[in-house]
Amino acid sequence: MNSTAVNRPVAGALWMLASGLAFVAVNGIVKYLGTALPAAEAAFLRYGLGLVFLIPMLRPLLAARLGPRALAIFAGRGLMHAVAVILWFFAMARIPIAEVQAINYLAPVGVTVGAAIFLGEQLAFRRIAAVLVALLGVLIILRPGIRAVQPGDVAMLGAAVLFAGSYLTAKRLTGFASAPVIVGMLSIWVTVGLTPFAIAVWIPPEPWQVFWLLVTAGFATLGHLCMTQAFRLAPITVTQPVTFLQLLWATLLGILFFGEPLDPFVVAGGLMIIAAIAFITWREAVLQRRVTPPVSATEV
């Protein structure tokens, strides 16, 4: 970790706060759009319209010399992420925003498990215990057998797993390409991957829907830019806790703008998952190795 990151924790935390608010704005707009458009079409429009924000990345994208192996990994990650985004859009339109956010916290935990299975990372007892706490948190949120598990819940669980897989693939890609190229190629390949799904369910969108999905793409891009700036200024042990405020923002957004009730089980389960991520992040800082991604890294 460079000295700049260590010496500017407040600035890093503020940038991460801005990132979280931008992603919550994405959540609110997608929730507002609801089920008027099929999930695959809405996701395609969000990423397709968002390609305009890739213009500043054109130079590194064109300069990158990527072999067939790297391109195949990019394509595979794009398809995986595309399916995750469809599931996320489907879930956001059908279950409370706070529930989507709480379950999405499972993605960094999934990265920890996936790193042990696929990357050979050591999964010590303490990390296993943290993963079990996170899974217990999910059970508290879903309460299977006590209430009916909704299709949106199942979709969000699938999205969290696929987002974890996408992040693990991104770690492998760091050996082939720079960060701007990885981000740019993700947007391109996700758009390509979403295309056949969107065509299969296409209905003509209204102009106001296109406008709001363009705004969504703008907020998502802003969120990722703020997150990148936060990483430059502060270590993940400082920025990660700030991302947990997204559960608070999401809960307030649902209550104030969409009339969603406060579900204490979602809050309790979300806090358990947050505690697990915080512990894993702290242990990785102590051991001076980073595996678990920041929560915002798995946002759409």
Helix 39-50 and helix 68-92: axis angle, to 10°?
A: 130
At residue 7, the pLDDT reads 55
Query: Average pLDDT for residues 46-56, to the nearest whole number?
Result: 91
Crossing angle between the packed helical segments 245-258 and 97-104, to the nearest 10 degrees: 160
Instruction: Evaluate whether 43 touches 86 at the Cβ level (below 8 Å).
Output: yes
Sign of CA dihedral 20, 21, 26, 32: positive
Within 10 A of 114 (CB to CB), how many other CB atoms are there?
Answer: 19
Q: How far, in Å, CA of 19 to CA of 214, rounded?
A: 18
Backbone dihedral region of 100: left (phi > 0), alpha (psi from -120 to 50 degrees) or beta? Answer: alpha
CA 143 from centroid of its chain's CA atoms: 24
Q: Residue 296's pLDDT is what?
A: 67
Q: Residue 90 has what pLDDT?
A: 97
Token duo for residue 165: 């897989």
Spatial neighbors of 41 by CB under 8 A, at least 6 apart, are 198, 201, 202, 203, 205
pTM: 0.91
Domain membership of residue 165 as a residue range: 3-298
What is the Cα–Cα distance from 164 to 110, expressed in whole angstroms?
6
Q: What is the Cα–Cα distance from 259 to 88, expressed in whole angstroms?
A: 21
Chain CA centroid to CA 63, Å: 28
How is 176-207 classified by DSSP, letter by letter?
Answer: TS-HHHHHHHHHHHHHHHHHHHHHHT--PPPH
Q: How many CB atoms lie within 10 A of CB 8?
A: 17
pLDDT tens column, 261-280: 999 999 999 999 999 999 98
| Spatial distance between the Cα atoms of 243 and 259, rounded to a whole number of angstroms | 24
- Residue-wise pLDDT for 210-227, tens only, equals 999 999 999 998 998 898
The residue that leads in pLDDT, 188 or 237, is 188
Question: In this predicted model, which residue has the larger pLDDT, 152 or 58?
Answer: 152
Q: What is the pLDDT of residue 122?
A: 78
Give CA–CA dist 225/218, Å, rounded. Answer: 11
The pLDDT confidence band at residue 257, using thresholds 50, 70 and 90, is very high
Residue type for 21, please?
A: L
The chain-wide mean pLDDT, for the chain, equals: 90
- Among residues 39, 73, 159, which one has the least CA distance to residue 110? 159
pLDDT of residue 125: 87
Q: How many CB atoms lie within 10 A of CB 251?
A: 22
Domain count, the chain: 1
List of E strands, 54-132: none
SS3 24: helix
Whole-number pLDDT of residue 69: 87
Of 3 and 50, the structure prediction assigns the larger pLDDT to 50
The pLDDT of residue 2 is: 43
